[in-house]
Chains A and B, each alone.
Chain A
Amino acid sequence: MKLKYTAAIICTLAMLTSCERLFMDEVPDESPVSVFEQTWQFADREYSFFRMKGIDWDSVHAVFEPRISNNMTEEALFDELGNMLYLLRDGHVNLHSPFNRSRNWSWYLHYPSNFDYNLLERSYFKTEEQFTGPFVLYDFGDVGYIYYGSFSNNISNQNLNYVADKFANHKGLIIDMRDNGGGSLSNVYKLASMLVEKETEVGYTRMKNGPEHDNFTQLEAVKATPDEDVHFYNRKVVLLTNRLSYSATNYFAVCAKALPNVTLIGDSTGGGGGAPSFTELSNGWQLRVSSTQLFTIDHQNAEKGVAPDIRIDLKAEDKDRGVDTILEAALAHLRN
């Protein structure tokens, strides 16, 4: 009798535990058709700019579905998916495979570059620049200048206090973020903390909160907050931007645009107002799409970039003369 019970228990246990995957959702296979569907569906569910950009994603599916077959190569599949995702016109939409990364970089490649670091080094710095943490710092005598090339490089309080103290008695400070493709938002808030004396509402954000294209959370205020350990910079500030000022830099430009002591000079930022969500497809490829929205203080969607207060281009002939017209405009603005 005891043996019977023991056998029954062991059999039940074995049955249940060996078939646990039957209780789980079916795992999509690795076939091109399945990977295509996963890609389309993830974007359909998570992408935040269909309405704003007027993209009919169902039509995109109808166009691309016939192009996908299970006997196509990995590279051909990748190209088709890349072409499909390209239509989202978003630098935060990428498909990563072991052999390539799909991207849409038209948001800066179709525009003038408006920046040449070489020009700064040879015509302005002439080896007199300082490297202060992530900043390249230069003193024009009456105007301070820092170049910040990536928000992925962390900023410390000491870095900020050095900058604030060094240029405290200057006419102003130029923060050059041209070609800064973004990075961490914590560095955005850190840098912004130097520019505000009290907590200031600088923009709004909202997130996808459901599968429909217009499912979003309520707008949440983005606030720049002073840090008691960071010295407030109370002079005028100019922010230099170009089209390759993207993502976190775009976020910083939204903040800067709301601050009365900051002027934006150069070209519009490249945009990238949506923080990306990620997933892993069944073949191991990584997919990311924007799934939040960012708005300026006057409720303009920042996905397509933040327009400068003073629009200046850096022309080839000026570059040849060794003149950075955008930087010169910033210097003139602060000196007047």
Chain B
Amino acid sequence: MKLKTTFTLLLLVLCTGSTWGQDSTGNFATRWWHKQQLKSEARALKYDTYRIGGPSLGFADVQDSKMAPNIYSGATAGFHLGWHEYSEKWFSQLMLEAAFGSLGFQDNHGKGYTLFRSGFNYSILRKTNWMRQHLRLGAGLDALNYLKSYNYLQNSSLNNDLAVGIMPMAMYQAGHNLLGRPSIFYAKASFNAFSFLMRYPKYNLNLNQGEIFWQPVGGFNRVRIELAVSPKIKWSQENRFELKYSWDFYSFNEKQNLVAVHTAQHNISINWWFKTR
């Protein structure tokens, strides 16, 4: 009985934040929330931070020798999510993207060649003293997964590649006015310096067996180029609209073409940059 009463009182103190409990959980949470808001405000003064998201449309070329020697092409659609933070010297970004595509070769479309591409990238770049400080250099950790499915090939229809790598990158960024709106222009180029690559299946049918490769540049080649412009939105002093084009190419050739995969992805995405604090 004593225990029950004590427990009830404790619960009341914790839940209500009444005069009994000046340091109750409710008050603690409120104070913590206000503190975070203050921190965010201070951070917002120091950094420009944006949450980014939007749809993307694209075009892909895929050649995987384990499936067929042909190059399959077609349209893709997907989305793009990200986070950018600018400080006086540093720029960091987190990017997630996914796209689904329906491909074919020549006029052989409609046999069910689909790809699902998903990617993750976290990179940090620093301003240099070159080019009037418009040039930033840095590196990122990147993971890209390509799931290819081709129903027409029945038992051999599924192939998957996962490439994780360190990507050195260079970014040229400048501010201009575009149609009277202050805008950020940037061009970014990166490549995989060293990659971990995992392919399923290892040889033909057995999806339980994958093959792993560790490859420096030259063994596994991946290049990504981005070109973007992001003017401030007319009705907002902080948020931005972005039009971005990206080209992502990777190529891997091993064992005299037995394991050869080449893909190129063109993407146009329309993103909204939401200023955060």
Which residues of A does B touch, CB under 8 Å? 2, 5-6, 9-10, 12-13, 16-17, 20-21, 23-25, 27-28, 38, 45-46, 207-211, 215, 217, 275-282, 284, 286, 288, 291-292
Contact = CB atoms under 8 A, between A and B. Distances in A.
Interface stretch (B17-25, B63-71, B75-83, B233-241): B63-71
B106 A284 contact: yes
Contacts, number: 115
B258 A211 contact: yes
Given A207-B204, A286-B152, A292-B205, A17 B257 contact: no
B71 A21 contact: yes
Contacts of B70: 27, 280, 282
Contact of A282 (B61, B69, B245, B247): B69
Nearest to B72: A280
A280 B63 contact: no
B48 to A, nearest CB: 21
A25 B253 contact: yes
A27 B64 CA distance: 11
Given A207-B205, A291-B205, A280 B249 contact: no
Interface residues of B, number: 47
Interface stretch (B87-95, B117-125, B153-161): B153-161
B204 A13 contact: no
Contacts of A217: 206, 209
B205 A9 contact: no
A209 B154 contact: no
Interface in B191-250: 202-206, 209, 221, 223, 225, 227, 245, 247, 249
B108 interface: yes
Contact of B69 (A10, A38, A277, A292): A38
A206 to B, nearest CB: 10
Contacts of A38: 69
Nearest to B134: A5
Contact of B108 (A13, A28, A284): A284
Given A207-B205, A210-B258, 11 more contacts: A13-B245, A13-B247, A24-B262, A25-B69, A25-B262, A45-B258, A209-B209, A210-B203, A211-B255, A278-B154, A280-B105
A209 B211 CA distance: 11
B172 A5 contact: yes
B266 interface: yes
Contacts of A13: 187, 225, 227, 245, 247
A27 B71 contact: yes
Nearest to B73: A21
A290 B97 CA distance: 38
By Cβ-Cβ distance, the 9 closest A-B pairs, closest first, are A278-B153, A20-B264, A24-B262, A280-B68, A278-B156, A209-B203, A9-B187, A277-B204, A17-B247
B174 interface: yes
Given A20-B264, A21-B61, A207 B206 contact: yes
A23 B266 contact: no
Contacts of B249: 16, 20, 23
Contacts of B253: 25
